[in-house]
Chains A and B, each alone.
Chain A
């Protein structure tokens, strides 16, 4: 059974940093691309970042480019999102999602999310 467990969320002041983690199990982590997707409470989904199986292809939404960095560690079966220079508009539930393909064909399985609140 695919399991994705996000952690690292919390309350942070504007301008500060936070690092999200996603522990993956139930599938061969190295064989799939991965994504971070966020959802503001009561609002829609926003794709944040994605990384293919070997970290050779990485993409970011314009809203986070230059501030967020995605990475993965095959030894730990984990996905990360380093979030710097956080803004109030980054407040959201952050989901980790597995792709259907090694290079990227779209998310399939999702975790339950970790909540990030940016406020002074």
Chain B
């Protein structure tokens, strides 16, 4: 159960697009279409942004999208807004009823 690998930080200007990667292994990300992405603002509980790899919960902006290639999942945020500045975490099913999170990525909107 090793943590998934995310970049520590990414940044972008308002209106731009950014992509956050989440690299796992063939035992987790690569083997299941069960990757979720969460947004967490300071002192707040995480909020689900993407589930099952690319599905958006009701109420989440269509500026957020998810994809996967091999052992790497990605979250793309288009049309960056100031309110998108937060920490983002990926999470993948890892088999045998276990799950694993990424280390988190701090998004800064310049």
Interface of A with B (CB < 8 Å)? 35, 37, 44-47, 50, 52, 57-63, 95, 100, 104-113
Contact = CB atoms under 8 A, between A and B. Distances in A.
B88 to A, nearest CB: 11
A106 B98 contact: no
A20 to B, nearest CB: 15
A107 B93 contact: no
A35 B48 contact: no
A113 B38 CA distance: 16
Contacts of A60: 98
Contacts of A109: 48
Interface in B22-70: 34-36, 38, 40, 45-48, 51-52, 57
Contacts of B57: 108
A106 B40 CA distance: 16
Nearest to A61: B1
A105 B35 CA distance: 9
A66 to B, nearest CB: 14
A113 B45 CA distance: 8
B100 interface: yes
A50 B45 contact: no
Contacts of A59: 96-99
B51 A105 contact: yes
B51 A35 contact: no
Contact of A46 (B35, B38, B96, B101): B101
B51 A106 contact: yes
Given A45-B38, A108-B57, A57 B91 contact: no
Contacts of B103: 44
A108 B98 contact: no
23 contacts: A44-B3, A44-B101, A44-B104, A45-B40, A45-B46, A45-B104, A47-B99, A52-B97, A57-B97, A59-B98, A100-B48, A100-B51, A104-B97, A105-B34, A105-B51, A106-B35, A106-B52, A106-B99, A107-B48, A107-B91, A108-B57, A109-B48, A110-B45
